[in-house]
Amino acid sequence: MKTTATFKKMKREKEKITMMTAYDAPSAKHLEQAEVDMILVGDSLGMVVLGYDSTIPVTVDDMVLHTKAVKRGARNTFVVTDLPYLSYHADLTETFANAKRLMQEAGANAIKLEGPGEVIETIAKLTTAGVPVVGHLGLTPQSVAV
């Protein structure tokens, strides 16, 4: 399985890194067979799988469930999981608890957070503690509906 060190090396050597989204074991299995570098379990599952109008109703429990399914389908592929809306905004204790669940309980290899500003401080604290983080800038679906 690729690691954060692998991705840093790929970036340094200007190698392309592929990432696709999956929400379930069968999709993840196909992506692993296609040798995708990493799989994202996005909170977009709220709209794509769960029938919500936005990502806002998605919970950490939803992300744990779907990350576990993806890991069962792609045991040897690096998996990044979204921290859903408001699961990393209240305080650092809650943020760390949610990140811990996604990594230890669900098996995510890294977490993803949306947004600039205060989130940058949160990312710094997480990465200092050794939590692999993928930042998401630009279009941020979690805040579109608010």
Query: Looking at the chain, how many residues does it have?
Result: 146
Tokens of 113: 């957070």
Tokens of 103: 């990594």
CB 143 within 8 A of CB 114: yes
Domains of the chain (ranges plus CATH)? 18-135 (3.20.20.60)
Provide the 3-class DSSP secondary structure of residue 59: coil
**What is the mean predicted confidence (pLDDT) over 46-59?**
95
pLDDT for the residue numbered 138: 53
Residues 60-109 pLDDT 10s: 999 999 999 999 999 999 999 999 998 998 899 999 999 999 999 999 99
Residues 8-43 pLDDT 10s: 999 999 999 999 999 999 999 999 999 999 999 999
In this predicted model, which residue has the larger pLDDT, 13 or 137?
Answer: 13
